[in-house]
Structures are given as structure tokens and as C-alpha cells.
Structure 1
Amino acid sequence: MKRPRALRRPNFRIADSAQQTVGGFLLAGPFVVTEEVWVLARGMNAIQAVLTAGVVAAIGYAALYRADTGREPEEEQAVAGIPIRFLSLMTVSFGSVLVLALLFDAPETFLIDQGMTGRAVWITTAKAVTVGAVFSVVGAATADSVF
């Protein structure tokens, strides 16, 4: 059932992205600096990484459009049929983890210092980002929905 227009949230705004960013960074930080995340990432295979990224997308979509938020994806501004709010959420969820990992020099600390080099460092970093994004998306979606 659609809510009356007056009760619906406004279209996606830059302020919504800013709120997502605050929430995403807030929950991403602890996981970027946790050695266990990097150990898990080293042990993950490509299928597990892709499935983990899918879990992030599913959590984000459910939080934005299936929780009682009053949003309908088909009523939002979209790019190639994908709501801009959802695209922003995914960018923030994965991006906040990556930015913090690089700022904190986590790949150097947890991978290179352990003897890993080259392409393996970037692949493992990408896998660690998917693990951290599972938590970051919760913060980002919550901040978007609450404010």
C-alpha cells in the first residue's frame, strides 16, 4: 500500500548521502583495524567475496525499501533503473571501508608486513572491504532512515 504523497520521504538529496557517509564511516572503522577481518579476507575465495558483496546489497536494499521506511524504489530517482539512494548507499558502504583501510594503511600492516605482495594484496584488500561493508551498510542505511 502506497502512503499518501504528503507522508512520503522527499526525493534523494545530497544531505541523504552525507547522512549515509556518517553512518557508514562510524561502523566501518572498527572492522578496518581488526586483524581478524584481514585473516578472514586472506582465506576467502572469489565466490565468497562476491556472495558477501551480494549480502551487503541485500541488507542495504532491505533496509532502504523493505523495512517500514515509506520508500518505494520505483518512485525514486534512478540511473539505469537503479534508485540513486541505493547506488549512494552501496558507494558509501564499500567506499568508506576502502578509504579507511587506505588511510590507516591496513593493507601494509596486515598483508605486506605478513609477506604478501603485488596483486594478492589488492585482491585481499577487496575481500576485506566486502567484509567491512557488511557492517558499514547497516550504519549507512540506519543513518539515512533515521534522519
Structure 2
Amino acid sequence: MKAVIQRVSQASVTINNEKVASIESGLLILLGIVAEDSQEDIEWLTRKIANLRIFSDENGVMNRSLIDIEGDAIVVSQFTLHASTKKGNRPSYIKAAKPNVAIPLYEGFVKRLEEALNKTIQTGQFGADMQVELINDGPVTIIIDSKNVE
């Protein structure tokens, strides 16, 4: 499971000219899922994201987590995070999980993040053509892969 986490001062998702998600201070999370992902990946990744200290404290030091600031989050499914670009010029998405595997894991991730943050998490729509707008605060962008823990 791979996530691109962006600290935002605002973000939104629009589908068919309808805004389906909108937040102020918090995180925009782009989530890519592979067939090998499991509940263990969900648990590890949600715990990591909820507790990641990337928000400024009163001294301007990144020392506060999403939990600490009671921030919001939008989770957007993005299979292209698992694109293979090694050969040729057309990315291959063969590593990305098929919808029958990815959808339950995506929904499980959102549910577990809601539990960790004790609040409703906004989302895009799995498989939809979405327009994602954001103001990246910092900018702070972090990539986390549950299979490549460093």
C-alpha cells in the first residue's frame, strides 16, 4: 500500500462538476493498492499517517500530528501510484490491484483512519474521473510505502 501524503491548507475533490469532498487544514492522501496488500498494511499505514508529526507547533517546528491538530483528511484512490515506468514510455499498471481486491482494502483504510482520528474522513470515488484541487502547505509531501518501510 502506497500513500502520497500532502499537508494542505485546503483541498477538494470534484466529480462531474460536483464537489464531493472539501477540507481546510489537514491531509490529502492519495492511496495506491496492490493485490498483496492486507489488513496489516491498513493498520500500519493508518497508524503512521495519523501520528506523523508534520504540522507546526507553537514554535514553528513540525512536531504535531493530524490527531494533535484535530485536522481533516481526504482519501483518494489512485492506482497510478503503482505505475511501472522502467521500460518504454507507456506506464504499466500491472502491479495495481484489480477493483475486486482494491475496493474493500480502500474502504477498510478509510474506516480504520476514521477510527484512528475519531472523525468522518472525506473521500473521492473509487474509479471515477476526479479533479483534485489543493493548496499544499509548506510544501510538505511525503511518500509512504507499507512494503518498503525505512
TM superposition score normalised by structure 1? 0.37
Higher share in helix: 1
Higher share in strand: 2
Q: Larger RCO: Structure 1 or Structure 2 (Cα < 8 Å, ≥ 6 residues apart)? A: 1
Structure label with greater radius of gyration: 1
TM superposition score normalised by structure 2? 0.37
